[in-house]
């Protein structure tokens, strides 16, 4: 298994609106991001995701987060999303994503959930909520996971602590409110993106 993009940092644009989507996607790509998710608890995601997909073209893997049912997997696939991110471990969602040719990054918190996700076809795993579990937990769980499974930390990751998670065994992270908050200016998104890329490359 391998992470499918050059930079294993996923930009989580929770709460973004269709009017903002393209400008923020362009700012992220300009700073080196090539994996972007729009969570399905964002307003009007059915418009935002295709706008983001079209804007990114082949420069970034774009899709949805907080995907909680097979029907939603189909909706996201039908509007061009290729990245499937979940906060939980639901084999039916994973299997449907794989069936639709999506790249599945599946949320888990325990070894049991991790192996259920992998058995259902997950191509990568996201430890969530990472901040509550910490780098020590990452190190412990990494020891029992297959060594080739990409593991991302999600939840509470900042430029200051990203290196701790990478040192513990994560290949990257999903970045939410420390990267993007609803309504923030594009300049802020670009500034935070640059800080995360710098932190990643300095490890």
Residue 108 CA to residue 117 CA, distance in Å, equals 8
Q: How many residues does the chain have?
A: 203
Burial class of residue 94, CB neighbours in 10 A (0-12, 13-18, 19+): buried
Closest by alpha carbon to 95, among 154, 40, 174, 86?
86
Helix axes 111-120, 91-99, angle to 10 degrees: 30
Handedness of CA 61, 66, 69, 71 (dihedral sign): negative
From residue 91, alpha-carbon distances to 104, 117, 129, 131, 153 in Å are: 11, 6, 19, 25, 20
> Catalytic site residues?
37, 126
Report CA Rg, the chain.
15
Of 100, 80, 82, 98, whose CA–CA distance to 90 is shortest? 98
């Amino acid at each position: 298994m391998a992470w499918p993009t050059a930079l294993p940092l996923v930009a989580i644009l929770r709460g973004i609106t269709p009017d903002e989507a393209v400008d923020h996607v362009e700012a992220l790509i300009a700073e080196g991001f090539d994996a972007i998710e729009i969570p399905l608890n964002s307003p009007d995601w059915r418009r935002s995701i295709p706008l983001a997909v079209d804007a990114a073209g082949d420069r970034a893997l774009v899709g949805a987060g907080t995907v909680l049912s097979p029907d939603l997997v189909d909706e996201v696939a039908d509007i061009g999303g290729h990245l499937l991110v979940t906060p939980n471990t639901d084999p039916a969602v994973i299997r449907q994503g794989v069936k639709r040719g999506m790249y599945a990054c599946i949320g888990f918190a325990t070894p049991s959930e991790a192996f259920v996700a992998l058995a259902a076809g997950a191509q990568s795993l996201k430890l969530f909520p990472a901040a509550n579990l910490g780098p020590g937990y990452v190190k412990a769980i990494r020891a029992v996971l297959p060594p080739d499974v990409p593991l991302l930390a999600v939840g509470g990751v900042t430029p200051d602590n990203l290196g701790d998670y990478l040192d513990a065994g994560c290949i990257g992270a999903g970045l939410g409110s420390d990267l993007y908050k609803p309504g923030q200016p594009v300049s802020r998104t670009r500034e935070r993106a640059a800080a995360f890329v710098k932190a990643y490359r300095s490890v």
